[in-house]
Structure 1
Amino acid sequence: MARRGTVRTGLAAVLAVPLVLSACGGGGDAGGTSSGDAGTLRVLDYYNSDPNATLWNDAIEACGEQIGVQIDREAVPGESLIQKVLQQSSSRTLPDVLMLDNPDVQQIAESGALTPLGELGIDSTGVAEGVLKASTYEGELYALQPVTNTIALFYNKTVLEQAGIQPPTTWDELKAAATALTEGDRYGFAMSNINTYEGTWQFLPLMWSNGGDEKDIATPETAAALQLVKDMVDSGSLSKSSVNWSQADVADQFAAGNAAMMINGPWNFGVLDPVEGLEYGIVPIPAPTAGGTVVSPFGGEAWAVPQTGDQEKQQKAADLVQCLNADENQVEISVATGTVPTKPELADEVSAQNANLSTFAEQVPDLRARTGELGPEWPDAATKIYTAVQNALVGGMSPEDALRQAQDG
C-alpha cells in the first residue's frame, strides 16, 4: 500500500502550529501568497517515485495544456508533505494546487489554508458520498478525489482448489477456511495487526461491517470483531507475527506461499503478478453473517486549491482539479495505477480493462471515510483502535477489556 490508507503520525501536533494565511477577500494578491507567473500553476504532491510519478505528471501536464497554463510541479516524499505545506504557508508561498492524503484534508481545511471548492464552481456530481464526506469540513467541500483504493480478500486459487474450499463470504466461513488451509509453514489467513494506522485500516472492515463505531470502540460489536481476529491467532491459523507485519509484509507472506488468504489492496498487483505460478483471486472481505454489507475504508489522494489571494489563479487551479477528475481521466488513471474511480458509474469500464479491479470498484458506493464521524479527531480514534488490537493479541487482555482501556485512555 505504500502510504495509502495511512494517516501520518504527528499530523495533529504539527497542525497546532498556526498557519499564516493570506487574505481571501478582495482582488489581486496584495498581502497574499506570491504565486509567480500568471500563466503558470504551481502544483505540490507526493508522487515522487514511479510509476505514479510519471503517470500523474503526464495527467497534470495534459490538463494544464487543456486549460491553457504551464505546470511547475514539485513532488516531495509523503512524510514531508504536511511540513512543506506549513512552511509554505508561513512564508506565503503556498502552491496553486495541492494534493493531500484524503484523511488529512479536514485538518488542513480546519486551519484555513484551503479554498472551498463551491466558491470556485467545481462540479462533484457522481462522486461517491463517502469520498466527498472525507473532503468536507463544516459543510464545505475542500478537495476532490479522482481515484481511490480499498482492501479485499485475496486468495491463492491453487491452494483453495486443492483443498476443495470456496472463498469465504462470512466470518464463520473465514475461520473454518483459515483453519483448514493452515498446514506446515503456511497459515490459512494473513492480515496486518501492526501498531500503526495500517493496523487500524485493516481492522476497520471487520469493525464497521459488524456495526462498530469509532466514536466509542468499547462496544459488543467491536469486541466481536476483535474476538474474530484473536480466535484465529489463538488457533494458529493467523500468525502471531502479524502484530509486527505491515501490509507490505503481509503481501510478501502471501507471495511466498506462507499464507493462503490475506486482506490487502490493489497496490500489491506489482508485487504479486510477477511471482511465477501464483494465481490469485479477489473477493470482498467476509461479512459477519450471510448477506451482510461489507463496509471498508478508502485510501487515495484528493486535490485542493489553497488560499493564495490570487483569485484568477485560484480559478485556473480549480479548472485543473476539475480536469483531473473528468471521467476519462478517472478511468485512465485507475487502470494505470491499480486504483478505482470515485464515480461508481465508471466501475464497469475500469473492470473491463482489468478484472482484478472489479471487487474494489464494486465497493465504492459503500466505502466509508475514516474522518467521516470524527473529522480532525480521527487520529486519536485510530490510535485507540490499534492499541486495543495489540493489547488483545499480545497483551493477554480480552477484547472487551482491551477496547475499554483504549477508549478510556
Structure 2
Amino acid sequence: MINAQKLRQEFPILEQVVNDEALVYLDNAATTQKPEAVLQTLENYYRKENANVHRGVHTLAQRATQKYETAREKVCQFIHAEKTEEILFTKGTTASLNWIARSFGDRFVQAGDEIVISYMEHHSNIVAWQQLAKRKKAVLKYIPLTKKGFLDMEEAKKQITNKTAVVAITHASNVLGVLNPIAELTNLAHLHQAIMVVDGAQAVPHMPVNVKELDVDFYAFSGHKMCGPTGIGVLYGKQEWLEQMEPVEFGGEMINFVHLYESTWADLPWKFEAGTPNIAGGIGLGEAIDYLDKIGLVEIFQHEKELVSYVLPKLQAIEGLTVYGPQDPYEHTGVIAFNLDDLHPHDVATALDMQGVATRAGHHCAQPLLQYLGVAATVRASFYLYNTKEDADRLVEAVKETKEFFKYGTF
C-alpha cells in the first residue's frame, strides 16, 4: 500500500504555498511532478557527465553514452519489450505518433485504405491520421462510444474491416477516465491484417503495461507524465516493422555512411534518432522508471482507484455537478472531468486555483470528444501517486466554495 503522505515529501514543488493556500496539485494528466531523485540525476548529468553520446572516445562521452543507453534498456524492461532495438527515443507521445503516421503510413497506407480511431482520442492521435488520410486519400473512421463513455466494441467490429490498414486507439482516456481493451482491439485489427497503434500517455505512468502480451505493433508514451523530464518520449515498435520503415528525420547520428549523392542508415534503433538527442531527458526518464519500479505500478494503480472511489461519490453528491464518463468509481481511472452548474470551466478552475487547488480547464486536446459529449469544455482533476485523501477533500470543499462564491459572491 502506498503512503502518499510520505511520498509527497520527495517532491519539492508540492511543499509550496499558492494563493496563500497549501498547494494541491491535481493536473497530473497534463504533467506530473518530479521527485528529488530525478532532479538530482538531471543536475548530476549536467554538472559531471555532460557530453555528446555515441561519438566520443573520451571518458565523459563514454559515461554519458552508457547512462543514456542504460535508460533505453530500462524502458525496454519497463514495458516488457523483446529487445532494445524496438525502443526509440522521441520528444514525446505526439512526436512518436507522427513518426508512425509519416514513416509507416507514407509507405504502407494506400488510397482507399481505412484508418480507424475513436471519438475519445487526444488531438495527437487524430491530427496525424487526418493528415495521412489526406496525403494518401485514405478513409478516416471513428468508433463511437457507449452511453457510459466506453468504447463501443460492437461498433468497433463493424468499423474495422478488411480495408483497414491502421487502428490507432488511446489506452486510457485523458477526459473520460476509461481504460480501453487494447488486447481485444489488437486481435481484431490483426484479424483484418491491420496494425495496432496505441497512445499510452495516460496508461504507462499508472499501471503495468506489457507490449508483448498486448501484441501491439506500436506503443507511444511520454516521460513527463511519469515523473520524468519534459521533452523525452518513447516509441515502441515491433522490429519487423521498424526495419521496413524509413526515417522521418535526417542528419547526424542516424547514418551509417554519407556519400555525395546517397546515404545509408544506422542500425535500429539509432536510424530514427537524428541529431543530438535529449540526453539528460533520457537519463532522467531512466531514473523515473527506477523510482516508479520501486513503488510498484500495481500499487500506484490501486492507490488511484482508492482515491477515485473516495472522491467521486463526494463530487457526484454536489448539486449541479456533472461528471463525464463512467459514474461507477471502480470503472474510473484517476482522471475526473466535470462541469459545475452553468459556470464556465475556466471560471471554476480559476476559483479552485485561488484556493490552492490546481486543476485544468478547457477541451483537453480532445475537441471531437467534447463535441460528441455536447460541451465546449470541462474542468479536469487528475490524481497520481503523491495525492492523498486530504487532497481529495480539499478539491471537494473548493468546488463547494466555488459554487457558493458564484451564488453569493464571497468565499
TM over 0.5: no
Determine which structure has greater relative contact order: mean sequence separation of CA pairs < 8 Å that are 6+ residues apart, divided by chain length: 1
User: What is the TM-score of this pair, normalised by structure 2?
Assistant: 0.28
Higher strand share: 2
